[in-house]
Amino acid sequence: GEDVEQSLFLSVREGDSSVINCTYTDSSSTYLYWYKQEPGAGLQLLTYIFSNMDMKQDQRLTVLLNKKDKHLSLRIADTQTGDSAIYFCAEGYNQGGKLIFGQGTELSVKP
């Protein structure tokens, strides 16, 4: 079945790296996504990775994919207070249709 799991909370100090983890169960997913939700706003796509890749870097963001263990992580370097938000991972498929979202990880960045 389809299931995406995340830890609910993460707290870091400003300037540290944050690592948000996600596990999924459906090995047929084609794409894996990270979305960010700031307070009072909708979800905003941060980055995504094809399932045949194992790493993608985009400025301060690094996505690592371990397909064997069905484990996805998002690393934020030099975390800032503006990074405080809820981060959702999601899995999707090449033919479109719905995404399967995790329950979100609330990142709190302390000065």
The only residue of 16, 45, 58, 71 in contact with another protein, by rule CB under 8 A: 45
Q: Is 87 in the site for another protein (CB under 8 A)?
A: no
Stretch that binds another protein, among 11-19, 44-52, 55-63, 67-75 (CB under 8 A): 44-52
Q: Is 84 in the site for another protein (CB under 8 A)?
A: no
User: Where does the chain show beta strands of DSSP type E?
Assistant: 4-6, 9-13, 18-24, 31-37, 43-50, 55-58, 61-66, 71-76, 85-92, 100-101, 105-110
Site residues (CB under 8 A) for another protein, limited to 53-82: none
**Closest CB to another protein among 81 and 103?**
103
Residues pairing with 66 in the sheet: 71
Structure tokens at 50: 């094809």
Count the Cβ atoms, other than its own, within 10 Å of residue 15: 11
- Is 5 within 8 Å of 23 (Cβ atoms)? yes
Q: Is 3 in the site for another protein (CB under 8 A)?
A: no
- Residues lying near another protein in the complex (CB under 8 A): 30-31, 33, 35, 41-45, 48, 88, 92-99, 101, 103-104
